[in-house]
């Protein structure tokens, strides 16, 4: 896959490269797609077999550090679950997490639940699109979010949470920091021939 030379490569960190495939030497890839744009391309019949790479680092000489992202990631939710044995502790953890989001916007839209499993098992659930797993982890670390109980995360944890039918005591919608505006439909399809999308 040949990539174009980028002006200001650091502005592409966190965006995606979509490899449309093609015969060797004629492969076509676009640089600078948002997660929403990639998800739309993967949902289409024509581009569902494309390969996706996330740009993790960019160097001044134009080199990019990439990580392959499985297509199914764009159809899943991931989450982090912070457990406690009493409601007061869980409520404090919930308020601290919502407070962090007020101070520093999370990297993407997310939902936070204060949930009750039983009289001695509560959880703060943070659920978000799976493609933002690394960014959400960094956001929590940078925000120094800490709890005293057990924690778990991942896509499987979200499914277990939904299957558990835990009682949601409180909920809050988090809005992500401003991201590049995603194009959809005809506007997105019209730009696919461009090697650099932004």
8 A C-beta contact, residue 126 and residue 80: yes
Q: What is the pLDDT of residues 45-92, one digit of tens each?
A: 888 889 999 998 998 888 899 999 999 888 899 999 999 999 999 999
SS3 141: helix
> Residue ranges of the domains in the chain?
9-74, 76-174
What is the Rg, in whole angstroms, of the alpha carbon atoms belonging to the chain? 19
CATH number of 76-174: 1.10.287.110, 3.30.70.360, 3.30.70.1710, 3.40.50.300? 3.30.70.1710
Given a cut of 70, whether residue 170 has pLDDT beyond it is: yes
Predicted pLDDT of residue 23: 57
- Both structure tokens of 99: 């407070």
Task: Give CA–CA dist 113/96, Å, rounded.
Answer: 12
* Per-residue pLDDT at 25 exceeds 70: no
Give me 181's structure tokens.
């505006």
pLDDT band at 22 (very low <50, low <70, confident <90, very high): low
CB-CB contact of 75 with 155 (8 Å): no
Q: What's the burial of 59, exposed, middle or buried (CB within 10 Å: 0-12/13-18/19+)?
A: exposed
Phi, psi at residue 12, to the nearest 5°?
-95, -5
25-52: buried (b, 16+ CB within 10 Å) or exposed (e) per residue?
Answer: eeeebbbbbbbbbbbbbbeeeebeebbb
């Amino acid at each position: 896959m040949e990539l174009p030379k980028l002006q200001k490569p650091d502005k592409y960190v966190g965006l995606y490269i979509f490899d449309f495939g093609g015969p060797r030497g004629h492969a076509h890839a676009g640089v600078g797609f948002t997660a929403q744009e990639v998800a739309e391309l993967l949902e289409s019949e024509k581009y569902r077999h494309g390969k996706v790479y996330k740009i993790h680092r960019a160097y001044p000489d134009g080199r990019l550090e990439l990580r392959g992202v499985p297509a199914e990631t764009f159809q899943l939710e991931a989450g982090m679950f912070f457990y406690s044995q009493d409601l007061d502790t869980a409520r404090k953890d919930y308020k601290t997490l919502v407070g962090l989001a007020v101070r520093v916007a999370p990297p993407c839209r997310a939902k936070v639940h204060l949930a009750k499993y039983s009289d001695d098992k509560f959880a703060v659930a943070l659920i978000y699109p799976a493609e933002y797993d690394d960014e959400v982890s960094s956001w929590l670390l940078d925000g120094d979010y800490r709890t005293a109980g057990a924690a778990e995360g991942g896509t499987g944890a979200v499914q277990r949470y939904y299957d558990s039918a835990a009682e949601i005591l409180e909920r809050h919608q988090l809005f992500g920091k401003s991201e590049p505006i995603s194009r959809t439909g005809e506007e997105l399809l019209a730009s696919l021939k461009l090697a650099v999308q932004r």
